[in-house]
């Protein structure tokens, strides 16, 4: 066939890239080969725009057992065990078909984890949606939540946390980032490697259909009003099949009959075949005629590019085939031999014995295109960073602003969402969703893991470098609040079209900031995912580099929760409140502005604060701890009261701002590196001393108790509201959007 | 004494029940594959929660055909104590071990949350260590827990004191607010006429330690240990 410009366009390949293919092959590619190149060289699989930047991230450390490059990263958590974890996006499919898009996002990341020989024990979701006033957004969100629930609940892995934020920029492009963590024996981590000439290659799991063909290419293009026509490129999930695969694969892995294993995710059989060969320095030869097929008449092109879910590729030690087949049979799965490992370093695909693709592995992996795309500081930046309070007129009254913030969907209770998720299965969940970091214990040890995903995308929009640092600091602070020492991280970088220089600039600056913060806080990034082209009709999402942090808690009994526990406990504010309102939820909700510079961040101070929290928790000095983020001190203090029936009375000096804005700045400013802790009165002075020794500013600001939230600034009571009333607003806000829409329908 | 925890393909709370009975309760337990036909000398059988066969077709509809189910029916006929939790309860309904059926939750959503149960009857092997009217806190995690049966069946269950657990408020009131799924008469769990087979939607297996939210479920396992040791429900196995 002739490869015309139109054929190249349909495959998302440029003329230059095609020239490169011709040189590498020394001939014209077959259509199957062209399809293989198109998916492997797509942004989604090749990271061609992002790789040069990602290389700058810190990925090593004394606990790191597996860095980037495998199916997931792994860190040593003691007791001979490893935490295996990664976060991945499923943004584009979730917009086109919310339920299946989100469900298969969950399924995909779970496969990445058990592929490494780890038993998955926790899921978190980092979600972004447009405004809930928009019925399309409500429909998308309801579908995404149902999809996550439908998959995670069925397969039996608890969803223990995550976060959800709302901004109009996500209206036509929601973000669905799913984090999964599993536990493996540290010395039994399994790799996605093919080696040993003659070793058989097995296919197991669901049959291959025509679903998801060119999913990876779709995830590498912008959306427009015809995107709904791409629905056939979204896959359909089967959590039951994946549950069988999970159990069967873990059983096979116990036998040592396995050389390597990889799931078929993006780019399906193509990606798993060439990546396994590439990692093992070997070749893989398969005959697609042996691949179990759901539909008749499928071409090699379709079989190689299908993204049907719940499929795995295994390389088994020669002579051990029967053992492996028997285990899969037990689980009613049929493992089929489709090829073998070769020595020539090539990916060779046959169809009934006839060669239809024959490509050197490096051409698809290491030697895939790499772009150093042009960058330019975005034009919006200067004006967006300029915040003039005078232009805003009068600040809103503290009480009105507070009640609006508490009911703002980004701050309001997410119970409507997480009560649809099984967050308790496997009976490890020590801290359930909605209460800061999720915490799961590690059975068979005294330890527990605190998990948090975070990113304040407004901060990143206003200053990508600083904003990404905030994402790292906040995620790490959240696990430290629970008593967890941050030991590893995974990132999910959601940005717009990298071919626009201003987007590439945001990306590069954010990666730099993330790297700098991770180095300063000593948190290696062991892997992750990049999602570009998050745009609809050229409107990009807020740049959203989500960071998922894993924190190690040495003694599960010393876990600290966010809620106040006893009337009379001393409330202590750690960190310094400054006159900082830039990028705040207050500005967004009350003045409808995303403006200003994000709060300053001193990473040395942040590190000292986190150390104090971890040591204070281990010493049993801290009754509760909660990080100050969106909504500032007032919202943080209120959140400590929710679900406890305990009110609070606190007072602080005003931040140094002009008189008119002092109360609002003090209550709702989002200065970084601050945490509200409560301490038993008898330990208060010891804790304050420890803070002083650690160089962490600490102030006794009040007492837990009563049935009101009362806050004063410079001795004046500026907020005095009934806890029950505020809690009702907070807990019903999100549900109300959906109840109302149901009533109208 | 020994528990058998049945594993169907798609069971996912088998581990929860196994861990509760072994590590927490200190008893023996064995996971029994659904294709087995032998209960390996177990004194008590637990059908655990999960999504047996993916809940495809209908919850529990395929699991009832598993080879182990015939053995369990015989064990139950002989008076052996059998507990169905969540999906295990749904399997029992499909298998005819207990009457009634499950509809989707009235919210049309999956629900995972703590609930309060009132122990209505203490003359079953799984409630004999409870106080009558005792209130237990434990979680639910299901999408189809809306218990339904024909009015005459409900009347018979009530008359025979076969309703073992009801959803109540924290203070013990039976009302709509306490009902998480729309079940008739706030029914959370029932037993058979012989009282040795008990099924409930809430998860006692996930409520055996304060650290994970509640230890109120432990009393159900302690009850059956006592029942077996005292021979209160002698079996003819």
Tens digits of per-residue pLDDT, A71-120?
A: 999 999 999 999 999 999 999 999 999 999 999 999 999 999 999 999 99
Cβ contact A447:A441 at 8 Å: yes
Any CB–CB contact under 8 A between A279 and chain B? no
Structure tokens of A49? 């725009």
Tens digits of per-residue pLDDT, A414-424?
A: 999 999 999 99
Chain B, window 96-115: residues with a beta carbon less than 8 angstroms from a chain A beta carbon: 109-113
Q: What is the CATH number of the domain that holds B36?
A: 3.40.50.880
Supply the pLDDT for residue A231: 47
Tens digits of per-residue pLDDT, A240-257?
A: 999 999 999 999 999 999
Q: Do A443 and B16 touch (CB under 8 A)?
A: no
Question: What angle, 0 to 180 degrees and rounded to 10, lies between the N-to-C axes of helices A603-618 and A464-481?
Answer: 10
Tens digits of per-residue pLDDT, B19-37?
A: 999 999 999 999 999 999 9
Rounded to whole angstroms, the Cα distance separating B40 from A599 reads: 64
Residues near A244 by beta carbon (within 8 Å), at least 6 away in sequence: A331, A332, A333, B9, B10
SS3 A512: helix
Say if residue A334's pLDDT is above 90.
Answer: no
Helix (H) or strand (E) holding A263: strand A258-263
Helix (H) or strand (E) holding A438: strand A438-441
DSSP A233: G
Cβ contact A740:A610 at 8 Å: no
Distance from CA of B112 to the nearest CA of A (A): 5
Tens digits of per-residue pLDDT, B226-235?
A: 999 998 665 5
Q: For residue A143, name the pLDDT band (cuts at 50, 70, 90).
A: very high
Terminal Cα distance for chain A, rounded: 53
**Catalytic site positions of A:** 44, 90
Any CB–CB contact under 8 A between A742 and chain B? no
The A73-78 sheet, strands edge to edge: A64-66, A73-78, A81-89, A175-185, A119-129, A159-166
What share of chain A in percent tops pLDDT 70?
A: 96
Helix (H) or strand (E) holding A53: helix A51-54
Distance from CA of B226 to the nearest CA of A (A): 24
Over residues A674-682, the mean pLDDT reads: 98
Q: Do A243 and B56 touch (CB under 8 A)?
A: no
Tally of domains within chain B: 1
**Domain range for B175:** 2-229
Q: Do A149 and B20 touch (CB under 8 A)?
A: no
ipTM for the assembly: 0.96
Residues of A in contact with B206 (CB under 8 A): 424-425, 427
Is B112 within a domain?
Answer: yes
Cβ contact A185:A82 at 8 Å: yes
Closest CA to B194 of B97, B120, B94, B119: B97
Residue A442: other Cβ atoms inside 10 A: 20
Say if residue A701's pLDDT is above 60.
Answer: yes
What is the number of CB-based contacts under 8 A between chain A and chain B? 90
> How high is the mean pLDDT of chain A?
95
For A427, the closest of B19, B51, B53 (CB atoms) is B19
- Concatenating the DSSP letter of every residue in chain B gives -EEEEEE-TTB-SHHHHHHIIIIIT--EEEEEETT----TT-SEEEE--B-GGGG-SSTTTTGGGSHHHHHHHHHHHTT--EEEETHHHHHHHHHTSS--EEEPPTTSS-EEEEEEEEE----STTTTTSPTT-EEEEEEEES--EEE--HHHHHHHHHTT-EEEEEE-TT---SGGG-SS--GGGEEEEE-TTS-EEEESS-GGG-SBGGGTB-TTHHHHHHHHHHHHHTTT----
- The residue of chain B with its CA nearest to that of A241 is B54
Distance of CA A341 to the CA centre of its chain: 34
Is B206 within a domain?
Answer: yes
Rounded to whole angstroms, the Cα distance separating B118 from A180 reads: 37
For B112, the closest of A156, A423, A556 (CB atoms) is A423
Q: Do A427 and B16 touch (CB under 8 A)?
A: yes
- Taking phi over 0 as left and psi of -120 to 50 as alpha, with beta for the rest, A714 belongs to left
Any CB–CB contact under 8 A between B12 and chain A? yes
Rounded to whole angstroms, the Cα distance separating A23 from A343 reads: 23
Tens digits of per-residue pLDDT, A498-519?
A: 999 999 999 999 999 999 999 9
Is B193 within a domain?
Answer: yes
For A425, the closest of B16, B33, B54 (CB atoms) is B16
SS3 A716: strand
Distance from CA of A732 to the nearest CA of B (A): 15
Q: Do B9 and A240 touch (CB under 8 A)?
A: yes
Supply the pLDDT for residue B89: 98
Supply the pLDDT for residue A390: 87
Any CB–CB contact under 8 A between B206 and chain A? yes
Rounded to whole angstroms, the Cα distance separating A515 from A511 reads: 6
Radius of gyration of the CA atoms of chain B, in A: 16
Tens digits of per-residue pLDDT, A357-389?
A: 999 999 999 999 999 999 999 999 999 999 998
Helix (H) or strand (E) holding A532: none
Is B210 within a domain?
Answer: yes
For A421, the closest of B19, B54, B112 (CB atoms) is B112
Is B236 within a domain?
Answer: no
Structure tokens of A223? 């959306």
Rounded to whole angstroms, the Cα distance separating A741 from A737 reads: 6
- Concatenating the DSSP letter of every residue in A389-417 gives HHHH-SPPPHHHHHHHHHTSTTTS--HHH
Residues of A in contact with B33 (CB under 8 A): 330
Q: Do A154 and B54 touch (CB under 8 A)?
A: yes
Residues near A159 by beta carbon (within 8 Å), at least 6 away in sequence: A122, A123, A124, A125, A148, A149, A152, A418, A421, A422, A423, A433
- The residue of chain A with its CA nearest to that of B111 is A420
Say if residue A743's pLDDT is above 70.
Answer: no
Overall residue count recorded for chain A in this entry: 745
Cβ contact A361:A278 at 8 Å: yes
Structure tokens of A339? 């090829």
Cβ contact B2:B30 at 8 Å: yes
Q: Do A244 and B9 touch (CB under 8 A)?
A: yes
Residues of A in contact with B19 (CB under 8 A): 427, 443
Q: Is A318 exposed, middle or buried (0-12, 13-18, 19+ CB in 10 A)?
A: middle
């Amino acid at each position: 066939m002739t490869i015309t410009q139109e054929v190249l366009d349909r495959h998302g390949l440029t003329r230059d890239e095609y020239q490169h293919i011709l040189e590498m092959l020394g001939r014209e590619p077959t259509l199957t080969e062209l399809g293989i190149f198109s998916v492997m060289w797509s942004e989604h699989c090749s990271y061609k725009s992002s790789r040069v930047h990602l290389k700058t991230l810190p990925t090593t450390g004394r606990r790191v057992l597996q860095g980037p490059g495998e199916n997931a990263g792994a860190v040593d958590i003691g007791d001979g065990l490893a935490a295996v974890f990664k976060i991945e996006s499923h943004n584009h499919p979730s917009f086109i078909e919310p339920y299946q898009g989100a469900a298969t996002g969950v399924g995909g990341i779970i496969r990445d984890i058990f592929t490494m020989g780890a038993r998955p024990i926790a899921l978190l979701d980092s979600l972004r949606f447009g405004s809930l006033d928009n019925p399309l957004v409500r429909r998308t969100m309801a579908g995404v939540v149902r999809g996550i629930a439908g998959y995670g609940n069925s397969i039996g892995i608890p969803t223990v946390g995550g976060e959800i934020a709302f901004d109009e920029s996500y209206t036509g492009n929601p973000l669905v980032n799913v984090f999964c963590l599993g536990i493996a024996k540290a010395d039994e981590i399994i790799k996605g490697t093919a080696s040993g000439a003659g070793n058989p290659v097995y296919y197991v799991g669901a049959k291959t259909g025509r679903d998801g063909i060119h999913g990876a290419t779709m995830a590498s293009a912008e959306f427009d009003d015809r995107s709904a026509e791409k629905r056939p490129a979204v896959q359909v999930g089967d959590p039951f099949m994946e549950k069988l695969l999970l159990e069967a694969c873990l059983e096979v892995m116990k036998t040592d009959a396995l050389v390597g294993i990889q799931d078929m995710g993006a780019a399906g059989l193509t990606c798993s075949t060439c990546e396994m060969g590439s990692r093992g320095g070997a070749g893989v030869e398969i005959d697609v005629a042996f691949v179990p097929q759901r539909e008749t008449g499928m071409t090699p092109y379709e079989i190689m590019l299908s993204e049907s879910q719940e499929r795995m590729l295994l390389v088994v030690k020669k002579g051990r085939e029967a053992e492996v087949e028997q285990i899969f049979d037990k689980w009613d799965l049929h493992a089929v031999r489709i090829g073998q490992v070769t020595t020539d370093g090539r990916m060779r695909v046959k169809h009934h014995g006839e060669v239809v693709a024959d490509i050197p592995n490096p051409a698809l992996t290491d030697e895939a295109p790499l772009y150093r795309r042009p960058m330019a500081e975005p034009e919006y930046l200067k004006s967006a960073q300029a915040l003039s309070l005078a232009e805003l007129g009068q600040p809103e009254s503290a009480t009105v602003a507070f009640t609006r913030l508490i009911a703002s969907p980004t701050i309001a209770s997410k119970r409507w969402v997480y009560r649809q998720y099984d967050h308790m299965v496997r009976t490890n969940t020590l801290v359930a969703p909605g209460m800061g970091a999720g915490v799961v214990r590690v059975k068979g040890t005294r330890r527990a893991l605190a998990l948090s995903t975070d990113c304040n995308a407004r901060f990143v929009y206003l200053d990508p470098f600083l904003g990404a640092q905030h994402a790292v600091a906040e995620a790490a602070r959240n696990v430290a609040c629970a008593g967890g020492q941050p030991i590893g991280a995974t990132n999910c970088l959601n940005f717009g079209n990298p071919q626009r220089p201003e987007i590439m600039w945001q990306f590069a600056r954010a990666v730099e900031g993330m790297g700098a913060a991770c180095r300063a806080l000593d948190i290696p990034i062991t892997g992750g995912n990049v999602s570009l082209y998050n745009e609809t009709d050229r409107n990009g999402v807020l740049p959203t580099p989500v960071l998922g942090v894993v924190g190690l808690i040495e003694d599960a009994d010393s876990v600290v929760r966010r809620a106040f526990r006893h009337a009379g406990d001393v409330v202590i504010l750690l960190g310094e409140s400054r006159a900082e309102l830039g990028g705040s939820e207050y500005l967004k909700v009350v003045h409808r502005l995303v403006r200003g510079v994000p709060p300053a961040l001193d990473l040395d101070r942040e590190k000292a604060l986190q150390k104090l929290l971890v040591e204070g928790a281990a010493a049993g000095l801290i009754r509760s701890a909660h990080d100050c983020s969106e909504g500032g001190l007032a919202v943080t203090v209120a959140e400590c009261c929710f679900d406890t029936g305990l009110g609070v009375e606190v007072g602080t000096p005003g931040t140094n701002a002009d008189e008119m804005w002092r109360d609002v700045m003090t209550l709702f400013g989002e200065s970084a590196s601050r945490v509200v802790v409560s301490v038993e009165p008898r330990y208060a002075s010891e804790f304050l001393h420890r803070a002083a020794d650690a160089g962490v500013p600490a102030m006794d600001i009040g007492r837990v108790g009563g049935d009101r939230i009362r806050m004063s600034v410079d001795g004046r009571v500026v907020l005095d509201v009934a806890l029950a009333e505020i809690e009702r607003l907070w807990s019903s806000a999100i549900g109300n959007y959906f109840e109302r829409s149901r009533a109208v329908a | 004494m020994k528990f058998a925890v049945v594993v169907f393909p798609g069971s996912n709370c088998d581990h929860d029940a196994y861990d509760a009975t072994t590590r927490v309760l200190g008893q023996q337990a064995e996971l029994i594959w659904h294709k087995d036909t032998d209960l390996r000398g177990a004194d008590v059988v637990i059908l655990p929660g999960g999504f047996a066969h993916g809940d495809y077709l209908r919850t529990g509809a395929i699991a009832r055909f598993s080879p182990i189910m015939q053995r369990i029916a015989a064990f139950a006929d002989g008076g052996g104590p059998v507990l169905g939790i969540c999906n295990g309860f749904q399997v029992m309904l499909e298998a005819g071990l207990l009457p009634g059926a499950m509809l989707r939750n009235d919210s049309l959503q999956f629900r995972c949350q703590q609930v309060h149960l009132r122990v209505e009857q203490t003359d079953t092997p799984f409630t004999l260590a409870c106080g009558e009217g005792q209130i237990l806190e434990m979680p639910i995690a299901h999408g189809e827990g809306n218990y339904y049966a024909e009015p005459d069946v409900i009347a018979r269950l009530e008359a025979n004191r076969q309703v073992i657990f009801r959803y109540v408020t924290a203070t013990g009131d039976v009302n709509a607010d306490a009902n998480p799924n729309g079940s008739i008469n706030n029914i959370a769990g029932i037993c058979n006429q012989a009282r040795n087979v008990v099924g409930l939607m809430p998860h006692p297996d996930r409520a055996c330690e304060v650290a994970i939210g509640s230890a109120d479920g432990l009393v159900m396992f302690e009850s059956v240990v006592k029942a077996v040791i005292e021979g209160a429900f002698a079996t003819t196995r």
